[in-house]
Amino acid sequence: MIQNAYVGMGSNLGDRAGYLLLAVRGMLDSSLDVIRLSSVYETAPVENEHQPAFLNMVAELRGTTLPSPEQLLARLLRIEYSLGRTREVPKGPRTIDLDLLIFKDEHASTEFLTLPHPRLPARRFVLLPLNELVPNLIHPTLGKSVRELLDNTSDKSAVRRWRP
């Protein structure tokens, strides 16, 4: 049974690694128990390809201390805002992007929140770091492990461990 929540993190503007670090700090300052972090991966942009490369990673949050999914998403959005995230260009460059990927075994489909994240199975840049943390985690609606989703994704974009 899924006990924890997983947050995808990405940055492709300014000090990308610094923004990832500040986002982790923001989660800790927001009383979220960050218990593990994946490695950092450098990835090509997807969909809107005319922008800088991203640094991506996944954070695992402790399930026993989590607020509701809506409250968690609100905290993540506040962290994005505090780090200068703007949304003028859909899927455009950003200082930080925080996506709630999986929240325990919850399902949601509202105007504000969809759980699990709907594009998770089609995003190699999220599946690879998530696989590093929890390869045997079963996707709450698809019934497949993260490893299986990674092996079967149609996304073949380059995702490399970042070496600063």
Which among 16, 75, 97, 123 is annotated as catalytic?
A: 97
105 noted as active-site residue: no
Which among 99, 105, 119, 147 is annotated as catalytic?
A: 99
94 noted as active-site residue: yes
Reduced to 3 states, what is the DSSP secondary structure of residue 21?
helix
124 noted as active-site residue: no
Which among 16, 75, 94, 123 is annotated as catalytic?
A: 94
33 noted as active-site residue: no
* CA torsion angle 157 152 61 83 (round to 10): 20
Give the number of other Cβ atoms within 10 Å of residue 87's Cβ.
11
Which among 16, 75, 85, 123 is annotated as catalytic?
A: 85
Give the distance, in angstroms, between the CA of residue 16 and the centroid of all CA atoms in the same chain. 15
Question: 63: closest CA among 8, 3, 108, 134?
Answer: 3
User: Which residues are identified as catalytic?
Assistant: 85, 94, 97, 99
